[in-house]
Structure 1
Amino acid sequence: MPSLGDMTSNPGAFVMAALLVGFGAVALAKLYGLIFMRWKTPFRVGEAMNVNRAEVVEWSGQEGYVSAGGELWRAQSKDALAPGDEVAISAVNGLLLKVKKQG
């Protein structure tokens, strides 16, 4: 790597050194994130969500969207539902919730 005196007279060397330092900083930040931040917030999907109630946000026919656990979920139900209805989650199939009207 060129010395500091060489870089002042050669702008190409300065740009190359700046790029190397920048890429190095980004690589260290990514490595830090991979090692130390990966266990901070586990994803909770499906059964791990541990939520059994939801509120209907949008509904048409037998499907729509409900708010459960602070997230918007696609849902299906055989019951007639309307926005604002409280529903119970009866099953989780991937990212689809099966819901029933609270009785």
Structure 2
Amino acid sequence: MEVIAIQKSALDGMKNELKALLELTEKATQKYTPIFKEEQWLDNQEVCLMMNITKRTLQTYKSKGLLPYSKLNRKNYYKLSDVRALLEAGQLDNTTEDGFIHE
């Protein structure tokens, strides 16, 4: 076992920094927890499976503004309610394989 000695002031400083970090983490958790409790969020793969579409078609829906999304850590998430609304709206009935809508 290795023993490392540090000054008490350095240890106290580390404790204070860890306490501040813990407080920031708790505040962030309190801020965003209600958002995720209110709504179920889906990732790209889940949306593609649910809608029976390709990733390219999903990208087209995003680009055309048909399906709103949120980005978190370079990953897209979609509200389940938005996906269901798009499916129920029937806007996809005239969508071709390439994801474009032809009227």
TM-score, structure 2 as length reference? 0.37
Structure that is richer in strand per residue = 1
Structure number with higher relative contact order (C-alpha < 8 Å, ≥ 6 residues apart):
2
Structure that is richer in helix per residue = 2
TM-score, structure 1 as length reference? 0.37
